[in-house]
Amino acid sequence: MTDRIQNIANGIYDNVGGMKNVNKIVHCMTRVRMEIDDYTQVDLDKLKQVEGVMGVVEDDTLQVVIGPGTVNKVAQAMVDMAGVKLGEPITHTTSGKDAVEAKAAQVKADVKKKNQKPWSKALKSIANIFVPLIPAFVGAGIIGGIASVLGNLMLAGQISGDNWAHIITVLKIVQSGVFAYLNIYVGINAATEFGASPSLGGVIGGIIMLTGVTPENPLPNIFTGGDLSPNQGGIIGVILAVFLMSMIEKKLHKVVPESIDIIVTPTVTLLTMVMITIFLIMPIAGAISAGLVGFINWILGVGGAFAGFMLGALFLPMVMFGLHQILTPIHLEMITNNGYTLLLPILAMAGAGQVGASIALWVRCRKNKQLTEMIKGALPVGILGIGEPLIYGVTLPLGRPFITACIGGGIGGAVIGLFGNVGATSIGPSGVALIPLINNGHMLQYVIGLLAAYAGGFLATYFFGTNPEMRVEQ
């Protein structure tokens, strides 16, 4: 950081009543925007005289005009001084005792962060990316779950009529508003987490969707010679791409002259990342997908409890990496040839194992109010077969419960595989919502498998899935 940037940041703080009078800082293309606590402490005349400040605008926030290129550096300097991120509330202390306690807490947090293992940091970043999406997951998930139950009842012939069809369509529109464009939301949040421009992160998420690419004019996979598919790479591909993007953008901000930074940096960043994302990240994900399809077909050929356990245990990691969509052709082929897919009921056990694991966390970590409140919101959606809230909001950020949830899914899958011939007559959500689609005569076996996955996930997590840190009062 240059002395000039630091001087502008200090000058702004000095003339708005100090850092203690600022509640939040964000920036746009040319302005630092601050939420001010007490406007009587703001000296507008002196603020305008700070070298580097081009003007001041009073609106719902106090906006200091600095200009493109410089504004993001000044805003970053100001939040760094406050010890927060852009857009985060700035906490203030009111007494010497509070200051000492705050400093001690900060030092403890810094030491803990420094000693944190790389995989723990990665899980923490994933949590920070997905936790803000939990309300959308829960609301849209419940609505989508209702739509799925109604849709499955219609497919099973238990309800009919245009009115029901219209209701289901409207409900699915709400669900699609979240999950169809999840890559974009993840890109925005990942950019915020990695200190990049959120709008650029959203564009990276949109790139993986290959909008505008048609079957008649596809983009090539440079490794295989085949065609790239939309969403190849999934959510993890988005996070990786945005992480690389953040490093490129930060580097460019340092070397590009401020007068042209607003034009050059986003343009070069996006051009670089679109090449890396489309022609490197997506093909690699495609190779992984193709390998998984071959592995799954081999597992299905083995059959029985072993196949059920393996598929049930591995499905949650596939969802996490956004690779579960590659199974759709297998489902459709089975339905075309046999009238039902044997794969879907087994994979549904993964979500059930996660439900059992979350219930165990609720019981075992009941003093951790932050965790239990998250589980309360996400659990009903998980029971209906929408697993993302529990994955990204509960089990995956904690690490160990994600593994025990996979074990629970494997146990349920083994039970379904042991029964044999438990199939779904159409593709639909898992969990309880799938019951109406189970082929005739096997609904009871499917329910037994669900209960086994619930129990397996619960017991594995209760005894092996927590640590003292999760169980302390928060």
The tally of domains found in the chain comes to 3
289: pLDDT confidence band, cut at 50, 70 and 90?
low
394 and 445 belong to one structural domain: yes
Query: How far is Cα 33 from Cα 56, in angstroms, rounded to an integer?
Result: 10
Q: Which residues are CB-contacts of 108 (< 8 A; sequence separation ≥ 6)? A: none
283 and 148 belong to one structural domain: yes
Higher pLDDT, 436 or 450: 450
Residue pair 384/436 in contact (Cβ under 8 Å)? The answer is no
95: pLDDT confidence band, cut at 50, 70 and 90?
very low
439: pLDDT confidence band, cut at 50, 70 and 90?
confident
Residue 424 lies in a domain: yes
Residue 454: what pLDDT?
97
Average pLDDT over residues 430-436: 84
59 and 21 belong to one structural domain: yes
Which residues are bridge partners to 73 per DSSP? Answer: none
Measuring CA to CA, how many Å separate 185 from each of 129, 200, 203, 235, 358? 9, 11, 10, 10, 25
Residue 467: what pLDDT?
86
282 and 326 belong to one structural domain: no
Higher pLDDT, 356 or 181: 356
Within 10 A of 201 (CB to CB), how many other CB atoms are there? 30
Residue 7: what pLDDT?
92
Residue 345: what pLDDT?
93
153 and 237 belong to one structural domain: yes
Selecting among 28, 260, 290, 447, the annotated active-site residue is 28
Query: How far is Cα 88 from Cα 361, in angstroms, rounded to an integer?
Result: 29
Average pLDDT over residues 311-339: 76
Residue 248: what pLDDT?
95
- Residues spanned by the domain of 358: 313-471
Considering the chain, what percentage of its residues have pLDDT values greater than 70?
88
Query: How far is Cα 449 from Cα 15, in angstroms, rounded to an integer?
Result: 66
212 and 346 belong to one structural domain: no
Residue 21 lies in a domain: yes
Query: How far is Cα 394 from Cα 134, in angstroms, rounded to an integer?
Result: 10
Where does a domain end: 265, 296, 327? 296
Residue 103 lies in a domain: no
Where does a domain end: 227, 262, 296? 296
User: Pseudo-torsion of CA 260, 266, 269, 272, nearest 10°?
Assistant: -100
Nearest by Cα to 190 from 181, 179, 201, 182: 201
169 and 256 belong to one structural domain: yes
330 and 457 belong to one structural domain: yes
Q: What is the largest CA-CA distance in the chain?
A: 81
CATH of the domain at 14: 3.30.1360.60
On the question of pLDDT at 106 being above 90, the answer is no
Residue 352: what pLDDT?
95
Residue 365 is a catalytic residue: no
What confidence tens digit (pLDDT) does each residue in 377-421 have?
A: 788 888 988 787 788 778 988 889 999 999 999 999 999 999 988
Residue 290 lies in a domain: yes
State the average pLDDT for the chain: 84
Query: How far is Cα 385 from Cα 378, in angstroms, rounded to an integer?
Result: 11
Residue 113: what pLDDT?
53
Within 10 A of 155 (CB to CB), how many other CB atoms are there? 15
Residue 120: what pLDDT?
65
144 and 259 belong to one structural domain: yes
Where does a domain end: 39, 70, 92? 92
Q: Which residues are CB-contacts of 229 (< 8 A; sequence separation ≥ 6)? A: 210, 286
In what helix (H) or strand (E) does residue 31 lie, and over which residues does it extend? strand 31-36
Residue 117: what pLDDT?
62
Average pLDDT over residues 252-280: 90
Which residues are bridge partners to 329 per DSSP? Answer: none
Higher pLDDT, 355 or 172: 355
151 and 287 belong to one structural domain: yes
Token pair for residue 405? 């949830």
Q: Which residues are CB-contacts of 115 (< 8 A; sequence separation ≥ 6)? A: none
Residue 305 lies in a domain: no
Residue 274 lies in a domain: yes
265: pLDDT confidence band, cut at 50, 70 and 90?
very high
Structure-token match 């996660």, residue found: 354
286 and 337 belong to one structural domain: no
